[in-house]
Amino acid sequence: RPILDMSYSRHFLDFQGSSIPSSMKKLVVTKLSQNFREAVTLRQDSPVPLPGDGDLLVRNRFVGINASDINYSAGRYDASVKPPFDIGFEGIGDVVALGLSASADYTVGQAVAYVKAGSFAEYTVVPAKQAVPLPSVKPEFLTLMVSGATAYISLKELGELSEGKKVLVTAAAGGTGQFAVQLAKAEKCHVIGTCSSDEKGGFLKSIGCDRMINYKTENVESVLRKDYPEGVDVVYESVGGKMFDLALNSLATKGRLIVIGFIAGYQNPTGLQPIKAELLPAKLLKKSASIRGFFLNHYLSEYKMALKHLLKMYERGDLVCEVDFGDMSPEGKFTGLESVFRAVDYMYMGKNIGKIVVELPHSVNSKL
């Protein structure tokens, strides 16, 4: 099999003899700000990184956009990290070079996905241990890496789902909401999903959502009070602010609210929209209810198992992995690293149905 040992060499050659360039485009956080366009710079001539002995050099074909990209560019995850630093959490592409140890499990030309900071680049070095081998480079696989895994692990570990439970999913037509809806349905739950348009409501219906609430045309609080007077058992909550308060008030006895994000606050300088927290102890006590936070990095021991399960579901046709390339956005499809800025704006305008993915086209001289 073709192997390129890069561990002792600085020659950029892929197995078909076409040269890997010595420089590439990538996005770099150059200033901490919750305004992504202010924080991030597109660098045109960054050196293509060299894989070490246990590494793969991946030519990125598709990269995923996450709400937390803004938290990362604002420096909210690790205050000790100072700019400049690379950004982007997940990618999928082809192995174009690899180190000697990595060649035990991977070959040049293989399709892989990964979750690692620095995916907003034409090439990314990925430790072989962190890579996920795939049958092909399909953007649908990318939807599972962060968004699908977050829904699967959080609901499995914290949701205690069982048949007949009522599950409320906020931002249900988004990148991770789509999976929360489908995974709850797979456990025979009754699923309620909030969304911002009839088009999104139609998508939710198509993936099995029992009750869609378009919060632009319906009052979510009134609908929940009228249709679910006993409350909901589980809330998968990613919006924050007023939606968090509403979800908390809608919990049933022994209900569980899982916080997987608070997108309403990500673009604010303070990062958080106020919630009515002073009443929290009384509200939880009255219902024996609970609130649990979920951050994927704390559950990495479950990650490979979750991904394996999700890939099997997708391959069986039991899981819809909706990808939004921005075809309906004003300037059209998200293509190339320069369109990551538009893609982030599109997400914060609440326009996407499914997971936002940016395609990175190959250069003309590439043989891969």
- DSSP letters of 236-296? EE-S-HHHHHHHHHTEEEEEEEEE---GGGTTSSSS-----GGGHHHHHHHHT-EEEE--G
Domain boundaries, the chain: 23-137+322-359, 145-298
Q: What pLDDT was estimated at residue 4?
A: 55
Structure pTM? Answer: 0.92
β partners of residue 234: 167, 256
Q: Is the pLDDT at 352 greater than 50, yes or no?
A: yes
- Give me the architecture of the 145-298 domain, per CATH: 3-Layer(aba) Sandwich (3.40)
Amino acid code (one letter) for 175: G
The one-character DSSP state at 5 is: B
Q: Which long-range CB contacts under 8 A does 297-302 form with residues at least 24 apart? A: 299/153, 299/154, 299/157, 302/153, 302/156, 302/157
Does residue 41 contact residue 28 with C-beta atoms inside 8 Å?
yes
Q: How confident is the model at residue 368 (pLDDT cuts 50, 70, 90)?
A: very low
* 242-285 per-position pLDDT tens digit: 999 999 999 999 999 999 999 988 988 877 778 887 899 999 99
Q: Is the pLDDT at 367 greater than 50, yes or no?
A: no
- Give me the architecture of the 23-137+322-359 domain, per CATH: Alpha-Beta Complex (3.90)
Does residue 147 contact residue 263 with C-beta atoms inside 8 Å?
no
- Rounded CA-CA distance 138/310 in Å is 15
* 134-154 per-position pLDDT tens digit: 999 999 999 999 999 999 999
Q: What pLDDT was estimated at residue 272?
A: 75
β partners of residue 126: 56
Helix (DSSP H) and strand (DSSP E) numbers for the chain? 11, 16
* 103-138 per-position pLDDT tens digit: 999 999 999 999 999 999 999 999 999 999 999 999
Q: How confident is the model at residue 10 (pLDDT cuts 50, 70, 90)?
A: very low
- Rounded CA-CA distance 288/266 in Å is 30
Does residue 360 contact residue 177 with C-beta atoms inside 8 Å?
no
Q: What pLDDT was estimated at residue 5?
A: 52
CA torsion, ordered 83, 86, 89, 94, to nearest 10 deg = 180
Segment 41-45 shows an average pLDDT of 97
Instruction: Determine which of 18-22, 237-241, 281-285, 326-330 has the lowest per-residue pLDDT on average.
Output: 18-22
State which H helix or E strand residue 45 sits in: strand 40-47
Segment 6-24 shows an average pLDDT of 60
Query: CB neighbours of 280 closer than 8 A, spacing ≥ 6?
Result: 248, 291
Q: How confident is the model at residue 363 (pLDDT cuts 50, 70, 90)?
A: low
- Rounded CA-CA distance 65/55 in Å is 24
* 338-351 per-position pLDDT tens digit: 999 999 999 999 99
For all residues of the chain together, what is the average pLDDT?
93
Tokens of 179: 């999976």
Burial class (CB in 10 A: 0-12, 13-18, 19+), 18: middle
Does residue 137 contact residue 323 with C-beta atoms inside 8 Å?
no
Does residue 140 contact residue 119 with C-beta atoms inside 8 Å?
no
Tokens of 261: 């994000």
368 three-state secondary structure: coil
* Nearest Cα to Cα of residue 143 among 86, 193, 196, 182: 182
* 224-247 per-position pLDDT tens digit: 999 999 999 999 999 999 999 999
* 276-324 per-position pLDDT tens digit: 878 999 999 999 999 999 999 999 999 999 999 999 999 999 999 999 9
Does residue 69 contact residue 91 with C-beta atoms inside 8 Å?
no
Tokens of 127: 């430790």
